[in-house]
Chain A
Amino acid sequence: MKATIRIRRFNPEKDKKPYWATYTLEDCEPTNRVLELLHRIKWEQDGTLTLRRSCAQGICGSDAMRINGRNRLACKVLLQEFGENPKIQVEPILGLPVIKDLVVDMEPFFAHYRAVMPYLVNETPPPVGPDGKPRERLQSVEARERFDDTTKCILCAACTTSCPSFWANGAYVGPAAIVQAHRFIFDDRDQLLKERLDVLADPDGVWRCRTIYNCTPACPRGIEVTRAIGEVKKAIQAGKRDF
């Protein structure tokens, strides 16, 4: 089948402002992924087309982009969902400065990620086995299950850059950073609960979320983002992880 792809292009070395360019591809298969189409354009037609991608199978999080108005991973969208005569529009994710074509500056995103102290802290000496060597800290199946959903996050930024509150105010930490914080807040091995909740209680923290709900359908990993944010809000109000 034939596919038509409209891409938002911008090369800072040449262009004063972004523009739309349209490409046609013959011999597409319904099972082709949008990433494959972008590759074909880059390889066969115009090598200047620039995008990030790596694993091409939905786990590395490189190729989040706005596809027909929704934030998706280009490697997880199959042509077949656009019907017999597919027309696809691709543009960079919103709310982060564009570097070139579909590549945006991820640094503000990762700065928010780092701000929530995304690492486990536990100063209690770990248990020791019969042989005198350190063993794992025990955790119940239920306690592990408590934060399972948010461990799936791949930091692709699809949620954060779908959030109107983030578009309006880039200082807001955004859904992805809150998801990452949730993963530690609800891990009963972690001992940095108070500090983390303090960061998220900041005016640019979790309360900037207006429960618009764009983030949840944007997540390519199926994480219930809005629910995780809600749980963090409750933990802040309760001042503890069990509320």
Chain B
Amino acid sequence: MQTHQFDTIILGAGGAGLMAALYASRSVSVAVISKLYPTRSHTGAALGGIGAALGNEEEDHWEWHAFDTVKGGDYLTDQDAAEILAREAIDAVIELEHMGLPFDRTKEGKIAQRRFGGHTNNVTGKPVRRACHAADRTGHMILQTLYQQCIKNNVTFFDEFHVVDLIMNGDRPAGAVAVCLRDGSLHLFHAKAIVFATGGWGKCWEVTSNAHSMTGDGAAIAFRNGIPLEDMEFFQFHPTGLYPTGFLITEGVRGEGGVLINGRGERFMERYAPKVKDLASRDVISRAIAIELREGRGIKGKRYLHLDLTPETVRRYKAEAGENADYYTPQYIETKLAETCDQGRTYAGIDPVTEPLPIQPTAHYAMGGIPTNVNAEVIADSTNRVIPGLYAAGECACVSVHGANRLGTNSLVDLIVFGRRAGLRAAEYARGAAFVPMPSDAARRIESELNRIRTANGSTKPYVLRKKMQSAMQDFVGVFRNGKDMQKALDIIRELRREFATNIRIDDRGHTFNTDVLETWELGCLLELAEVTAFSALNRTESRGAHAREDYEKRDDQNWLKHTMVYREGEEGLRVDYKPVVITQYQPKERVY
């Protein structure tokens, strides 16, 4: 077994991982370990923009961004984290521009900004232009730019090395184990500081905007090594997934003036969010869509609604709002929403310039995850005890900056702001720390699990289990939830976990690029996280943000203004604990858009 030694290792090469790598590599030796080539990471699928109160288009303040983030999170957001996010977003975006990110420009040559859901002028309550964008491929440009800078700075990459376990010496992290896809060999990475930047787990659901690789590996690995998971009941359903695939259609469409229309031709968001309408926060709009569909107002009675961005419609509504929209031409749409046009034409056979797009809510983003403090240090329990040498940033982490519902654009802000903090803090720690010795049997547990999968000779193919999990999560732990259904989901998932452990069968017994084994191992991660999600959701008897219960319809600050922390107890058991929400200056109040 080959052993590598670096001061800091970074698991995952999306936005958070690359940002951490850039900063850490300035002062210590760093390796980035990723199961994909870095440019394949799912940051690249982010579209509409990155929020920062630059004030390039109109008055804006980082304090407004912080408040919007707290309100968007339905007051579960840790407010110290939201303040850091909003304040540091400004220089983070400027730094991206200096790195070469090709932002769109205003007439004056400044970074162009557009409206996005839940981002408001705090005085008027009206939408504010805060999302800095590069057409509708902002995530792609962030990923490319950060990777370019990593090449410039000679960062070491282990591409297509699939991280499968953490190495612990007692309660001290000592490194990670990874499989080299090319030949199936196991590698030990001995490190002083370890940064999780492994992304989300949207693949727990059937209809999702997420990549196939979004299987929550890092969160599952952490959990298996005794680290709790925070606020797992909060998973965002993005309102505008393309029907039927669930691919993401950017909120930037609505930021540019696009509107949601039901089967009766109504702009129904006027009823649900009179002030900001189609630019309410995502949880609010996804619920509105679910209600419209449930009450039979889908298009032609089907399970989708329309997102209309044609010039006629947008100009009409802009004129009603007293805005000039002469600029909103087919050519403008082709340029500013180029990806959207391509998606509609390729996957729905619809030209969005002339016809509305069919949309449905789609599982999109994990607000919860590996608990960290504002320095991206992983914490072990409700007392915020830091685990020395362990960090997490990006979607896999729960700072918690997104609370119960993330605002659009804030995932990209999170990657840059907290990815940078993770890199800086990890390097600082590594400079002063010694290597924790690796136990002699560091890879034993994972080696035997991978061998078990590779030789599995039961009767159920893994894809069958995956489909069952995805439909249980879709049907019972979706936009609306209730106790009975969630219990059903939990029972199903636990049964699937038993079957996964005892009765799977795979075909590929080889070592070269064995994705049969690794996909199956990923399924184990998804099942683990689906179980914690259903368990946490069943446990929280209130409605807040993305967690909307039909049997507990109101937010309950008296009992539930707190973070959920779930721990694995023994092989099968789960234990729940709570952590207070950090409140600085925004007292919880009712949320109206």
B42-A60 in contact (CB<8A): yes
Q: A53-B212, A62-B36, A139-B105 are in contact. Are A134 and B94 (CB under 8 A)?
A: yes
CB of B245 closer than 8 Å to a CB of A: yes
Bound state CA distance, A11 and B494, in angstroms?
36
B151-A119 in contact (CB<8A): yes
Q: Write out the residue numbers on chain B whose beta carbons fall within 8 Å of the beta carbon of A144.
A: 102-105
Q: Write out the residue numbers on chain A whose beta carbons fall within 8 Å of the beta carbon of B347.
A: 31, 57, 78
- Give B501-523 interface residues, CB cut-off 8 Å to A: 506-508, 510-516
Among B98, B104, B108, residue most surrounded by chain A Cβ atoms (within 10 Å): B98
Question: Mask for A25-43, Cβ within 8 A of B = 1, else 0?
Answer: 0000001000000000011
Question: Mask for B309-341, Cβ within 8 A of A = 1, else 0?
Answer: 000000000000000000000000001001100
B508 interface neighbour in A48, A189, A222, Cβ under 8 Å: A48
Q: 5 nearest interchain CB pairs?
A: A120-B100, A47-B507, A138-B109, A43-B463, A119-B148
Bound state CA distance, A100 and B36, in angstroms?
16
Given A54-B36, A138-B110, A222-B342, list of 9 further CB < 8 A pairs? A42-B516, A57-B248, A100-B512, A120-B148, A140-B109, A141-B109, A144-B103, A148-B335, A187-B100
Bound state CA distance, A48 and B513, in angstroms?
10
CB of B137 closer than 8 Å to a CB of A: yes
A58-B512 in contact (CB<8A): no
A133-B107 in contact (CB<8A): no
Bound state CA distance, A115 and B557, in angstroms?
57
Q: A119-B149, A155-B39 are in contact. Are A136 and B97 (CB under 8 A)?
A: yes
Bound state CA distance, A147 and B134, in angstroms?
12
Question: Mask for A123-141, Cβ within 8 A of B = 1, else 0?
Answer: 0001000000111111111
B44-A59 in contact (CB<8A): yes
Q: A151-B141, A154-B39, A190-B100 are in contact. Are A100 and B513 (CB under 8 A)?
A: yes
Bound state CA distance, A171 and B247, in angstroms?
38
Q: Write out the residue numbers on chain A whose beta carbons fall within 8 Å of the beta carbon of B39.
A: 60-61, 154-155
A54-B342 in contact (CB<8A): no
Give the distance to chain B from A217, nearest Cβ to Cβ, in Å.
15
Give the distance to chain A from B199, nearest Cβ to Cβ, in Å.
11
Residue ranges of A at the interface with B (Cβ–Cβ < 8 Å): 11-14, 31, 42-44, 46-48, 50-62, 76, 78, 99-100, 103, 106, 110, 114, 117-122, 126, 133-141, 144, 147-148, 151-152, 154-155, 183-184, 187, 189-190, 222
What would be 8 A-B contacts, judged by CB atoms less than 8 Å apart?
Answer: A13-B511, A13-B512, A55-B211, A59-B140, A118-B151, A134-B91, A137-B97, A151-B137
B105-A99 in contact (CB<8A): no
CB of B26 closer than 8 Å to a CB of A: no
B97-A61 in contact (CB<8A): no
Closest to A48 in B: B508
Closest to A107 in B: B159
Give the distance to chain B from A54, nearest Cβ to Cβ, in Å.
4
Bound state CA distance, A189 and B477, in angstroms?
48
Give the distance to chain A from B575, nearest Cβ to Cβ, in Å.
34
Bound state CA distance, A155 and B40, in angstroms?
9
Q: Write out the residue numbers on chain A whose beta carbons fall within 8 Å of the beta carbon of B212.
A: 53-56
Give the distance to chain B from A82, nearest Cβ to Cβ, in Å.
15
CB of B291 closer than 8 Å to a CB of A: no
B515-A50 in contact (CB<8A): yes
B110-A189 in contact (CB<8A): no
CB of B45 closer than 8 Å to a CB of A: yes
CB of B5 closer than 8 Å to a CB of A: no
Question: Mask for B453-464, Cβ within 8 A of A = 1, else 0?
Answer: 000000001110
Closest to A184 in B: B100
Question: Mask for B335-376, Cβ within 8 A of A = 1, else 0?
Answer: 100110011001101000000000000000000000000000
B211-A54 in contact (CB<8A): yes
CB of B99 closer than 8 Å to a CB of A: yes
A58 interface neighbour in B141, B182, B346, B513, Cβ under 8 Å: B346
Bound state CA distance, A44 and B507, in angstroms?
10
Bound state CA distance, A155 and B506, in angstroms?
32
Q: Write out the residue numbers on chain A whose beta carbons fall within 8 Å of the beta carbon of B137.
A: 59, 151-152
CB of B152 closer than 8 Å to a CB of A: yes
Q: Write out the residue numbers on chain B whose beta carbons fall within 8 Å of the beta carbon of A61.
A: 39-40
Give the distance to chain A from B154, nearest Cβ to Cβ, in Å.
10
Q: Count contacts between A and B, CB distance < 8 Å.
A: 160
Q: Write out the residue numbers on chain B whose beta carbons fall within 8 Å of the beta carbon of A58.
A: 342-343, 346
Q: Write out the residue numbers on chain A whose beta carbons fall within 8 Å of the beta carbon of B435.
A: none
- Give B95-136 interface residues, CB cut-off 8 Å to A: 95, 97-100, 102-111, 134-135
B102 interface neighbour in A56, A78, A147, Cβ under 8 Å: A147
- Give B35-68 interface residues, CB cut-off 8 Å to A: 36-37, 39-42, 44-45
Q: Write out the residue numbers on chain A whose beta carbons fall within 8 Å of the beta carbon of B8.
A: none
Closest to A73 in B: B346
A148-B102 in contact (CB<8A): yes
Give the distance to chain B from A118, nearest Cβ to Cβ, in Å.
5
Bound state CA distance, A43 and B462, in angstroms?
8
Q: A12-B512, A47-B507, A190-B100 are in contact. Are A57 and B245 (CB under 8 A)?
A: yes
Among B41, B103, B144, residue most surrounded by chain A Cβ atoms (within 10 Å): B144
B512-A55 in contact (CB<8A): no
CB of B240 closer than 8 Å to a CB of A: no
Give the distance to chain A from B146, nearest Cβ to Cβ, in Å.
10
A119-B152 in contact (CB<8A): yes
B100-A119 in contact (CB<8A): yes
CB of B213 closer than 8 Å to a CB of A: yes
Q: Write out the residue numbers on chain B whose beta carbons fall within 8 Å of the beta carbon of A106.
A: 37
Q: A47-B507, A119-B151 are in contact. Are A151 and B134 (CB under 8 A)?
A: yes
Give the distance to chain B from A218, nearest Cβ to Cβ, in Å.
16
A187-B245 in contact (CB<8A): no
A99 interface neighbour in B140, B213, B513, Cβ under 8 Å: B513
Q: A138-B108, A152-B137 are in contact. Are A187 and B102 (CB under 8 A)?
A: yes
Bound state CA distance, A99 and B211, in angstroms?
23
Give the distance to chain B from A99, nearest Cβ to Cβ, in Å.
6
A154-B149 in contact (CB<8A): no
Bound state CA distance, A134 and B338, in angstroms?
31
B507-A48 in contact (CB<8A): yes
Q: Write out the residue numbers on chain B whose beta carbons fall within 8 Å of the beta carbon of A56.
A: 211-212
Q: Write out the residue numbers on chain A whose beta carbons fall within 8 Å of the beta carbon of B94.
A: 126, 133-136
A54-B40 in contact (CB<8A): yes
Closest to A129 in B: B94
Bound state CA distance, A204 and B148, in angstroms?
22
Give the distance to chain B from A148, nearest Cβ to Cβ, in Å.
7
B37-A141 in contact (CB<8A): no
Give the distance to chain A from B580, nearest Cβ to Cβ, in Å.
34
A44-B40 in contact (CB<8A): no
Closest to A57 in B: B247
Q: Write out the residue numbers on chain B whose beta carbons fall within 8 Å of the beta carbon of A99.
A: 182, 512-513
A50-B513 in contact (CB<8A): yes
- Give B190-217 interface residues, CB cut-off 8 Å to A: 211-213
Among A52, A57, A100, A155, residue most surrounded by chain B Cβ atoms (within 10 Å): A57
Closest to B98 in A: A126
A54-B98 in contact (CB<8A): no
B140-A154 in contact (CB<8A): yes
Q: A54-B36, A140-B109, A189-B100 are in contact. Are A59 and B45 (CB under 8 A)?
A: yes
Give the distance to chain A from B538, nearest Cβ to Cβ, in Å.
30
